[in-house]
Structure 1
């Protein structure tokens, strides 16, 4: 019985660490797959912005430093990294960055695990349903744009 429990524990530990390392590998690829010097030049980033991007890329240089932060929820790195990147670049430049380097997709979709992508899609659907309800309510109460449809959706 003890051998069985030990084997189950080791398999569980190995599986968990393997899943964690997959997330870390995605994190590293999100940095190494992009030529950041080209990004800086293409987006005409200031020296301060460029330094902040490089510092963001160097934040977790190894698995252990990354794992200390994301051990409980490893998929969280994407949201935090890309919201920080958006803050550094500014909304307009971030949209240009996303279109050019991720073909317009959210990085969650590019570097997402199967279950995280499903979770993200559900959150996105919920957001759009709430937006739709809001705009319908606004139009019903006469606060809409007067055209019978909303031009601000895209």
Structure 2
């Protein structure tokens, strides 16, 4: 059983890191695909807003810092990033940004369309569910007291 759990954990870890890197690549593209200087000029943003955007864009400079935050739910970066952008720009300018740079679509959807995103997310969730079920079984087994199972 221990070998099975170790094997499942290692497979899950390698698969997870592949899926995680796809999410991280989408995150990086969401920054690099946009000319932020043009956004700042087009939307007539204040210097404070411009600085906040640059700080937001530099928040996770590498995979490790990004992964520490999004390891459990890698798709969450989209909602976090774009709600923060909306806060910085204000609702009206955010809508203009969205219309001009994402053809009116929600940026969360735009960067949720990578060819591997949904497939990897499903695989990731399935592996996570399996891993946590195995952990729960192991925990139950380890915490039985004198034939009495606290979980029943």
Contact 2:30 2:111 in 1 (8 A): yes
Unaligned runs of 5+ in 2: 122-152
Seen in structure 2, the aligned counterparts of structure 1 residues 14 and 68 have a Cα distance that, compared at 3 Å, is: same
> What is the alpha-carbon distance in structure 2 between the residues aligned to residue 105 and residue 96 of structure 1?
11
Contact 2:78 2:108 in 1 (8 A): yes
Counterpart of 2:40 in structure 1 is 40
Seen in structure 2, the aligned counterparts of structure 1 residues 84 and 2 have a Cα distance that, compared at 3 Å, is: closer
Instruction: Give 1:9 shift.
Output: 3.6
> What is the alpha-carbon distance in structure 1 between the residues aligned to residue 27 and residue 82 of structure 2?
11
Counterpart of 1:145 in structure 2 is none
Counterpart of 1:114 in structure 2 is 118
If the length of structure 1 is used for normalisation, what is the TM-score? 0.69
| Residue-pair matches, total | 117
> What is the alpha-carbon distance in structure 1 between the residues aligned to residue 106 and residue 120 of structure 2?
12
> What is the alpha-carbon distance in structure 2 between the residues aligned to residue 93 and residue 62 of structure 1?
29
Unaligned runs of 5+ in 1: 118-154
If the length of structure 2 is used for normalisation, what is the TM-score? 0.70
Instruction: Give 1:30 shift.
Output: 0.2
Equivalent residue runs for 1:1-154 within 5 Å: 7-112=7-112, 113-114=117-118
CA-to-aligned-CA distance 1:74-101 (integer Å, 9 cap, x gap): 1111111101100100111000000011
Instruction: Give 1:17 shift.
Output: 0.6
Instruction: Give 1:11 shift.
Output: 2.5
CA-to-aligned-CA distance 1:98-153 (integer Å, 9 cap, x gap): 00111111112101133799xxxxxxxxxxxxxxxxxxxxxxxxxxxxxxxxxxxx
> What is the alpha-carbon distance in structure 1 between the residues aligned to residue 29 and residue 89 of structure 2?
20
* RMSD between superposed Cα atoms in Å: 2.2
> What is the alpha-carbon distance in structure 1 between the residues aligned to residue 91 and residue 79 of structure 2?
15
Highest RCO, 1 vs 2 (Cα 8 Å, sep ≥ 6)? 2
